[in-house]
Chains A and B, each alone.
Chain A
Amino acid sequence: MTDRLRVNPIACEAHGLCAELFPERVSLDDWGYPIIDPQSIPRELQVHARRAVDACPTLALALVQADAGDRGDARQWRSRQR
């Protein structure tokens, strides 16, 4: 099972730590908000992805199942935001 990153754009406040910590999948737009590469994250990069998720000051970033569209990942979001 592979994961990808997803950002909650309502919670995101453009701190930009995610792009700093995980440039392999996160870049910033002209206003400093993250643009997420939706590709799944290979095993060797997982630790960096997790570090970016954990560093987000507003808990706006999450790892979700790559094959679940943006639908099947509700449970992952809830556990992340608790």
Chain B
Amino acid sequence: MSAQVAPRSAQPPPHDIPRLMAGARGDGKPVSLSEHLDRYGDLGVRPARGASPDLIALVEASGLQGRGGGAFPAGRKLRAVAQMNRRPLVLVNGAEGEPMSGKDKVLMRYMPHLVLDGAVVAAAAVGAREVVVVVGDDAAGSFAAMQAAIDERARRRHGGVSFRLASIPARFVAGEETALVNWLSGGSVKPLFTPPRPFERGVSGSPTLVQNVETVANLALIARFGADWFRALGTIEEPGSALVTFAGAVAQPGVYEIPLGLSLTGLIARAGGLSRPVSAFLIGGYFGAWVAAEDTSSIRLLDSELRPLGASLGGRVIFALPQSVCGIVETARLSRYLADESAGQCGPCVRGLDAVATALQELAWGKRNTRHDDARLDRWLAQIDGRGACRHPDGAARLIASGLRVFAAERARHAAGSCGGTGKPLLPVHAARKSKR
């Protein structure tokens, strides 16, 4: 017996962006359940006993990929969980530990019912009855909006799944799916050695579907409007719209919904242009890579176009570095932050990232007589890659290596004892809270 799949809607589906944010109110308040149903109509999906092959096939046909950073095909993840033949659990990942990212917080805060609808679709697809939504403990507004939406559904007996809201310490690794599972199973916010992966053995041993907030919100639209509608934006390999956080030297920083494949220049135009001349972009956030501004003039925001530049959409954060700020200084600050945000479990991550950060700090700020470019830096970065239980050391090493590549001239200048930067560094790197380990 499978769940009902009957797309129907009160208003016609949006045929351009915004999609996810189409129903947002103008006044900064979350959309209520009545407003949500007026706009989108009933979801038409009720969780039934067992998984729904129809829903899984629909999501596979849509080509939706995870929006949390890994870009893993959502349909394949649903299928893996459904095939475990044990009652699974759905975990909606709103940890968003990336310090610059705001997209998931925005979705939860303004569109909580879209997120909950999507969680119902996910639960129906894999045959789950229980949904846990995890929000970082630095996102009080998002937490309150999700709590109010869950209470509203309970009062109106709307749903068919039980929702639980949980708060997780806002650390960088908190969004890593095994760290979420560990925390919700009563452990610490630290990644686990895999296998078993969450889809095999997740929260309290149950097969667990972990999907990012934005991924889940897309499920709510795909269930209503279908796979073809979803594919009307984006490319064949990377369909749909995406929320990106645009920060740094830009006139109107913030969260933007874009069709995947929009050019970077297109995004800059939507954000009111650059506020100052820019030397490089950090694409993908703190798990992404630096790309020199001159290499970005013709790129479109797609993993397929970013990969040759050593970058990816990753956490969907794009940061514009003004020419006045030194890229080596920013990379040194980033590397110290990422070293401090290590979960502290794996030797190569703990020792390696710390050694790299110390060497870079020395290069960035060392006294004239001690400052030097440590010859071991590049070897260390190569050694760290792939050596942890999670991807933290890999992502950090790749990001730092990209900074050393893009800012090679600045690196040489620093080694010679000077710095071309005149402006204050901008990247937020102060979220590290060691007491929460």
Contact = CB atoms under 8 A, between A and B. Distances in A.
Contacts of B388: 9
Given A9-B345, A30-B376, A74-B200, A35 B193 contact: no
A10 B348 contact: no
A44 interface: no
A13 B347 contact: yes
B383 A12 contact: no
Contact of B383 (A35, A70, A73, A77): A35
12 contacts: A8-B193, A9-B345, A9-B346, A9-B347, A9-B387, A9-B389, A12-B347, A14-B347, A32-B347, A33-B347, A70-B194, A74-B200
B383 A11 contact: no
B195 A29 contact: no
Nearest to B195: A74
Contacts of A10: 192-193, 345-346, 389
A76 B305 CA distance: 39
Interface string A1-20: 00000001111111000000
Interface of B: 192-197, 200, 345-349, 351-352, 355, 376, 379-380, 383, 387-389
A67 to B, nearest CB: 15
Nearest to A12: B347
A10 B197 CA distance: 16
Interface residues of A, number: 18
Centre residue among B192, B197, B346, B355 by max chain A CB count within 10 A? B346
B41 to A, nearest CB: 40
A43 interface: no
B387 A30 contact: no
A71 interface: yes
Given A71-B195, A74-B195, A29 B345 contact: no
A52 B19 CA distance: 56
Contacts of B349: 9
Given A9-B193, A77-B195, A33 B348 contact: yes
A71 B194 CA distance: 8
A62 to B, nearest CB: 11
A74 B196 CA distance: 6
Contacts of A74: 195-196, 200
A30 B355 CA distance: 10
A53 to B, nearest CB: 16
A8 B345 CA distance: 11
Contacts of B348: 9, 29, 31, 33
B95 to A, nearest CB: 20
Nearest to B376: A30
Contacts of B389: 8-10
A31 B200 contact: no
A66 to B, nearest CB: 16
Given A30-B380, A33-B351, A73 B195 contact: yes
A10 B349 CA distance: 10
